[in-house]
Homo-oligomer: A and B are copies of this chain.
Amino acid sequence: MQSLQEKASEWSGVSQNDAFEIDNTNLFQKLGLQTFINLSTNFYTRVYDDEEEWFRLIFANSKKEEAIQNQYEFFVQRMGGPPLYSQRKGHPALIGRHRPFPVTHQAAERWLHHMQQALDSVTEIDADSKTKMMNFFRHTAFFLVAGDELKNRNQGVPCKHGASKPAAV
């Protein structure tokens, strides 16, 4: 069986090595906190205004300000800055915390579409950092699609009301 990270690489087209190139530099030191805040604000402004309703609705139960803070605190922590996310919320637990959301291939692509636009809009981010971040985001998005499929697999467990095959999901 393919591992989560193997699926992520196959589906994203980004190798494990390229995805974690972010660990060979310190993007937080290079870009600074405000750039990460700007990026997440730009990103979620696009998401909450998305003309694609199916995607916008995924976020309907989350507050925009909170989504922004969760995201930039995680990015800062993961890209060489202080552990802002864990101080406030504990482990990132990316798959566990994305459990309420339908993280499909289509949703991953839409997320990445907005993130690419956001990266292009925040002019403080140089081309090299942008490439590294996008590789990390692309691989991570499909890692979460792989994580989401685990959830569907469990829902396919036969129920106890006499049917011998898994319930359709």
Spell out A's residues near B (CB within 8 Å): 3-5, 8, 16-17, 19-20, 23, 82-83, 86-97, 99, 139-140, 143, 147, 150-151, 154-155, 157, 159-163, 167-168
Other A-B pairs, 17, CB within 8 Å; known A4-B97, A20-B86, A96-B147: A4-B93, A4-B96, A5-B90, A8-B90, A16-B88, A19-B90, A20-B90, A23-B83, A23-B86, A23-B87, A91-B140, A92-B92, A93-B143, A94-B96, A99-B154, A155-B157, A161-B161
Nearest 5 A/B pairs, CB to CB = A95-B96, A159-B159, A5-B90, A161-B161, A93-B95
Give the distance in Å from the alpha carbon of A143 to the alpha carbon of B96 in the complex.
Answer: 11
The A interface, classified by DSSP as helix, strand, loop or mixed, is helix
User: Which B residues touch A96, using CB under 8 A?
Assistant: 4, 93-96, 147, 150
Q: Which residues of B contact A97 (CB under 8 A)?
A: 4, 95
CB of A21 to closest CB in B, whole Å: 10
Whether A99 pairs with B168 at a CB distance below 8 angstroms is no
A159 to chain B, nearest CB (A): 3
**Which listed residue (B82, B92, B143) contacts A90, Cβ 8 A?**
B143
Give Cα distance in the complex from A151 to B3, angstroms.
Answer: 20
